[in-house]
Amino acid sequence: MIHFDRKDVDKMPYVFRINLMNSVSGYKSANLIGTKSKSGHPNLAVFSSITHIGSNPPLLGFFMRPTTEIRNTYENILETGTYTVNHIHSSIIEEAHHTSAKYERGISEFDQSGLKELYREDFSAPYVLGTPVQLGLSFVEEHPIKANGTILIIGRVEHVYIDDHLFRSDGFIDLTEGQIATINGLDAYAVPETNNRLSYQRPKPISSFI
């Protein structure tokens, strides 16, 4: 196996280190976060850090670095208290990835990527038209991460929209059936073709494998 320790990582060139450190956690979620500023400018950005935190209340978290251009998303969430999370279907991977380009605040990544806004009653943040799973969230709390200045943003799921054909009767959403992408590292997208559901695990008799 190839081995890098802490000192090796500290000495790595920038691009090498970000490729490595964005790959080491495993597959990541592939989502577009939609927001709108108080003054009416929509914003759309690809994120790969959206993570389940709890089911009751239903909470999702994601990490952002407020000092980069992506701060539009952060400012809009704080201004309006709402945002959307939209899953990336295999047919829009290139458009979704393009939202990672650094545009100025007044420019809409919807216009620049070709993705279309969808507005629903009583919710100011834009959803992404045609995406197979769409969530409307309200901002709950934020946690500044001391070790590197990023921020954990936590939101509560207020609305869930799911294409009918991926929804199962026990509440499971079949992401594979939805041709939903997953992200590897900074720039690789994969679309799993099959999945396998396993059963709930209970303890076996002690040391049954020995």
Please give the helix or strand (H or E) that residue 83 lies within, else none: strand 82-87
Q: Which two tokens stand for residue 19?
A: 């490729």
Amino acid at 87: H
Region at 153 (left for phi over 0; alpha for psi -120 to 50; beta for the rest)? beta
Cα separations (Å) of 127 from 82, 116, 200?
11, 8, 34
Please give the Cα distance from 45 to 98 (Å, whole number). Answer: 9
Shortest gap between Cβ of 25 and a copy of itself (angstroms)?
5
160-199 residues in contact with a copy of itself (CB under 8 A) are: 160-164, 167-168, 170-176, 180-182, 184-185, 187-199
- Taking CB under 8 A as the criterion, which residues in 122-161 touch a copy of itself? 133-135, 140-141, 143, 145-148, 150, 152, 154, 156-161
Q: Which is nearer to a copy of itself, 119 or 161 (CB)?
A: 161
> Shortest Cβ distance from residue 1 to a copy of itself (Å)?
4
**Cα torsion angle, 39, 44, 49, 53, sign:** positive
C-alpha span between 133 and 179 (Å, rounded): 11
Among 41, 66, 75, 93, binds a copy of itself (CB under 8 A): 93
Query: Rule CB under 8 A: which of 17-76 touch a copy of itself?
Result: 17-31, 48-61, 63, 65
Residue 201 found at the interface with a copy of itself (CB under 8 A): yes
- Residue 44: how many CA atoms within 13 Å on its side-chain side? 25
- Here's the x/- map for a copy of itself, 101-120, by CB under 8 A: it reads as xxx---x---xxxx------
Nearer to a copy of itself, 40 or 210 (CB): 210
Least distance between a copy of itself and beta carbon 39 (Å) = 18
